[in-house]
Amino acid sequence: MPEETSEIDDAAFFLSPEGKTDAHSELEATIGALINEEHFDDNATACRFPARKAWLVKELGMEGLSEVECTLYDKMIKRVDPQSVSLIFPSAYINSPASMFGHTFLRIDSSYESKMLSYAINYAAAANPDTENGMVFAIKGLFGGYYGQYSLLPYYEKIKEYRDSEERDIWEYDFDLTQEEIEQMMRHIWELKSTYSYYYFFTENCSYNMLWLIESARPSVHVREYFNYQVIPPETIHAAIDENIVTKRYFRPARRSKLLAYEAYFDDEDIQCVFQLSKAEVKPQDFLKEEHYSAQKKRYILEASSEFIEYDFLAGEINQREYKERLYSVLSARSFLGKGEQMKIPQPTDPMQGHRSLRVKAETGWRNAENIQFLGIRPANHDIKDSDVGFLRGTQIEFFDFLLSYSQQKVRLEKATLLSIISLSPRGKFFKPISWRLGVGWNRAYLSESAVFETHASGGFTWGNEVGYTYLLADVLFNTDEELSAGLGAIAGLTVYGGKAFKTNIETAQRLYDTGEEQWVFNASQHYRSSQNTALSLSYDYVQKYREDWKTVKFSFDYFF
């Protein structure tokens, strides 16, 4: 679009009929409306557009404008009491199409000490991905099928949504904005409060619109210029850090993270006791009489029980009456034991220490003793074989991953992945999730020689600890070679970590197609994180084929930016 075309699509935001596409016309209309003010209450131009008025007074010296009374705006400023600003990043929630890459919004902190009393500035599509068909939501989100709108709401509500309901850790990045810059941001937020723009999943999304607010506060930063084709939430934080506006960082663990910390401390008997207390099968007052538990162990068990009661209520497994009764009973017993040691929640690596999203891959090696080279590019976001530093273990989210090969003086398409998602979450004592993965695109992993279109979906279980994890999955896949072919498969895999730098992946799959053909596929790789945004790896792939089976050894170099 032309440089001066506004990204706001709501006609109510403009005073000139040509305001969206003609900035000069909108400027003249704004100046005229301020000089010839017709209203002197909340409907006044100065009350509807306080950021415009403040800018014109500062830049053009427009003094002597009519006095107006902006009651609603003043009430908002008094309620929010803006003193500082932070960029908030709830980590990826892979079970929601809208949150696979995480999310970002701004928090406006007040003079209160507790951050829970702050307010959040959020931008989101006017849709509910939890009730709407996932495929429809994804397609409409890609092509601007929803309105995107800003909202101002208490921060504790966002905490409840992301940390408690969706089990997402939250990272907070404080900005060094001045009071004047914060006030200008609030004026701009007020102007946008009832407007809309079309929401695009990869471009004009939640994160991109936060960049506008940052630039409205401090025009000297140019965070939007970091992005051309896609805006992924973690990348916006990288941009803010590169512009030197981030001062401090904080971690706020999800309820699930807290419970996993208790799980690591408890033995099987303790776990059983937590379940009994949270489900009201054992009375907390009776539990206090148990003699073989130390006072501190009792504190931890009661604390974990209260977290599980909250968890069950948010999951809809108990009603509000049961929730209040159980929680009150457990917390009363916990208060009887007095203050004790606080459970230490392990802090994961800051997402900003992970690799960037866009990856270029160069590989060289041998396929059946013949030299072969590969060149690939992927705009987003993370491969399960990549380093997990800054990312959720056992997850993969890839869009538009392309890989070409060159051998025998020919260039061939090795793969063109449209979408690939993997969630291998280990089962434990408290949580027993289902592992799954799905993929859509072209690859050369079928029995024939050329790249064929394939779609697959898998489900199963994962078990693991801090050293690594292993998984078993059942697979359903469809290939379109000369004709459609369906297949069933069994997958077994193992991932082992050698500190933060080394990662070993081994996977084998046995497939049976409706044509009666069988196929065995095996791959093993050793990944080395040479720096935050570079990696080296050595891999071996075996693919059973109609003619000659493929045995490929590759040396790889990955560069992320």
Residues 122 and 268 in one domain: no
Does residue 6 form part of some domain? Answer: no
**Among 263-277, 305-319, 545-559, whose mean pLDDT is lowest?**
305-319
Residues 90 and 146 in one domain: yes
Q: Among 272, 303, 336, where does a domain finish?
A: 336
Question: What's the pLDDT tens digit per position in 484-531?
Answer: 999 999 999 999 999 999 999 999 999 999 999 999 999 999 999 999
Whichever domain contains 485, its CATH number is 2.40.160.40
Task: Report whether 202 contacts 144 (CB < 8 A).
Answer: no
pLDDT value of position 358: 94
Does residue 31 form part of some domain? Answer: yes
Number of other residues whose CB lies within 10 A of the CB of residue 322: 15
Residues 26 and 162 in one domain: no
Question: What's the pLDDT tens digit per position in 168-219?
Answer: 899 999 999 999 999 999 999 999 988 999 998 888 888 999 999 999 999 9
Residues 247 and 259 in one domain: no
Q: Among 28, 51, 69, where does a domain finish?
A: 69
In this prediction, what percent of the chain has a pLDDT beyond 90? Answer: 81
Residues 151 and 291 in one domain: no
CB contact set of 384 (below 8 Å; sequence gap of 6+): 394, 395, 396, 422, 424, 495, 505
* pLDDT value at 315 more than 90: no
pLDDT value of position 2: 44
pLDDT, average across residues 60-71: 90
Task: Report whether 297 contacts 273 (CB < 8 A).
Answer: no
Q: How confident is the model at residue 130 (pLDDT cuts 50, 70, 90)?
A: low
Residues 403 and 536 in one domain: yes
Mean pLDDT of the chain: 93
- First vs last C-alpha separation in the chain: 26
Residues 229 and 288 in one domain: no
Residues 91, 464, 505: CA angle, nearest 5 degrees: 85
Q: Report which of 332, 340, 341 is spatially closest to residue 288, judged by C-alpha positions.
A: 332
Question: What's the pLDDT tens digit per position in 545-557?
Answer: 999 999 999 999 9
pLDDT value of position 94: 72
Q: How confident is the model at residue 1 (pLDDT cuts 50, 70, 90)?
A: very low
Residues 125 and 197 in one domain: yes
Does residue 347 form part of some domain? Answer: no
pLDDT value of position 128: 72
pLDDT value of position 161: 80
pLDDT value of position 3: 52
Does residue 348 form part of some domain? Answer: no
Whichever domain contains 189, its CATH number is 3.90.1720
Identify the domain containing residue 507 by its residue range. Answer: 356-560
Residues 259 and 246 in one domain: no
pLDDT value of position 500: 93
pLDDT value of position 135: 67
Task: Report whether 106 contacts 164 (CB < 8 A).
Answer: no
Count of structural domains, the chain:
4
> Alpha-carbon distance 200 to 144, whole Å?
5
pLDDT, average across residues 301-327: 93
Specify which residues 494 forms β-bridges with.
470, 506
* pLDDT value at 462 more than 60: yes
Centroid of chain to Cα 242? 20
Residues 156 and 290 in one domain: no
Does residue 2 form part of some domain? Answer: no
Centroid of chain to Cα 366? 37
Q: How confident is the model at residue 132 (pLDDT cuts 50, 70, 90)?
A: confident
**Among 96-110, 145-159, 405-419, whose mean pLDDT is lowest?**
96-110
Does residue 20 form part of some domain? Answer: yes
338: left (phi over 0), alpha (psi -120 to 50) or beta: left
pLDDT, average across residues 423-427: 94
pLDDT, average across residues 435-464: 96
Q: How confident is the model at residue 34 (pLDDT cuts 50, 70, 90)?
A: very high
pLDDT value of position 98: 61
Q: Among 28, 46, 69, where does a domain finish?
A: 69
Does residue 239 form part of some domain? Answer: yes
Bridge-based pairing of strands 170-175 and 146-154 is unpaired
Does residue 392 form part of some domain? Answer: yes
Residues 111 and 215 in one domain: yes
**Among 3-17, 71-85, 110-124, whose mean pLDDT is lowest?**
3-17
* pLDDT value at 364 more than 90: yes
The tokens describing 231, both together, are 């805006």
Higher pLDDT, 97 or 385: 385
Question: What's the pLDDT tens digit per position in 332-362?
Answer: 999 999 999 999 999 999 999 999 999 999 9
Residues 424 and 519 in one domain: yes
